Amino acid sequence: MYNILIVKYGEIGVKGKNRYLFENKLIKNVKNMLKPLGEFKVYKEFGRIYVDLEDYDYEEVAEEVRKVFGIVGVCPAIRAEKDYTKLKELALEVLEEKIDAGAKSFKVESKRGDKSFKFTSQEMSRDIAGYLVSQVKDKIAVDIRNPEVRIRCEYRENHVMVYSDTIPGYGGLPLGTNGRAMSLLSGGIDSPVASWMVAKRGMELECIHFHSYPFTSEKSQEKVRDLGKILAKYCGRVRLHKVNMLEIQKAIGLNCKDEEMTIISRRFMMRIAQAVAEKRHCDALVTGESIGQVASQTIQGLTCTNASVSIPVFRPLIAMDKTEIVDIAQKIGTFETSILPEEDCCTVFAPKKPVTKPRLERIEKSENALDVEKLIQDAIDNIEVEDLEF
């Protein structure tokens, strides 16, 4: 029955003279998202974006389209030639479907795009509602204040259209409209969510993962690959840079205080991430840190971490509770993978009593015992790179 999707966007609508750039990017991203299903006609018309469905299952297509960042809703609709009688017949089709699904009340909402038409929008609603009531009799009630179903009818310049449901999207801005970021991706719950949230604001993502093989298993790396593939569902192809931290952590363990292991390791990770980010033309780093969640994420710990790099560090989870983060992880499909019991490089070498209020001058003094530049360069020279797709 449904032959077209209406794609609704949010923030893009207030972008002024640059709006067309965001719309064009959104159209491109929708097409890319739908490539695994087939070739679709996606186009802009009168300030709206449409996807022609042809013979495809509308539910399957809508489910993919709603994942595209920048979209706030997807409406399955019936579009037909410009004919008012046909408009009323389509409205009846949609209403009967809702009655069969158990709906108890409805309301008609109309838009008159063709201002030469004899009825105003309000008159259209009354006329169409009257026709529908005459056809369905007492199978469903009219409720203009709190209807269970809204039948939306449009009489436009070149066509008529009817729709009812709006499948919610994630909102945000189209991927690729706000630069690039390098995300520090672990196998935990937080970093995939942080990556997703930054991508939702229009930033393209690359990811960097730190491991301590063979002290951490290949399965732990496979887990991160799986998380990257899930992110690729929303972000397109994700490049994953894999860095072995083992020699760095050995050097820290031999030359620095045990309680400083976590914070110094973290500073090395940030420096390496910045070096790779700059090489890959990324404008910022992304982490899954939430203030106070673990020992290295106190304000003092974050201050020490920040001091190790010179590019912006985005922490979208910084003020979120764990339950809020878990809710998003479940929604985007990363949670079940994140909770698989595989150790990462941070937990393997975690001190029994990590320092919670590190002082930057003391951390920097401890690092003087290390050949920081050589350790970083050796790690970078042995990076493994992999492109991930969903």
Which residues fall in the annotated binding site? 184-185, 209-210, 266, 288, 297
**Nearest Cα to Cα of residue 61 among 35, 100, 81, 43:** 35
What residues contact 105, with CB distance under 8 A and at least 6 apart?
Answer: 140, 141, 142, 143, 146, 147, 148, 149
Q: Which helix (H) or strand (E) holds 108?
A: strand 105-112
- Which two three-digit tokens encode residue 340? 């698989």
- Judged by phi (left if over 0) then psi (alpha if -120 to 50, else beta), residue 38 lies in left
Q: Are the beta carbons of 321 and 189 closer than 8 angstroms?
A: no
**Nearest Cα to Cα of residue 357 among 264, 295, 309:** 295
Grouping H, G, I as helix, E, B as strand and the rest as coil, residue 199 is helix
What residues contact 327, with CB distance under 8 A and at least 6 apart?
Answer: none
**Nearest Cα to Cα of residue 66 among 14, 22, 4, 9:** 9
Which residues fall in the annotated binding site for ATP? 184-185, 209-210, 266, 288, 297
Q: How many CB atoms lie within 10 A of CB 87?
A: 23
Angle at which helix 299-306 crosses helix 261-279, to 10 degrees, equals: 40
CA-based angle 228:230:231, to the nearest 5? Answer: 65
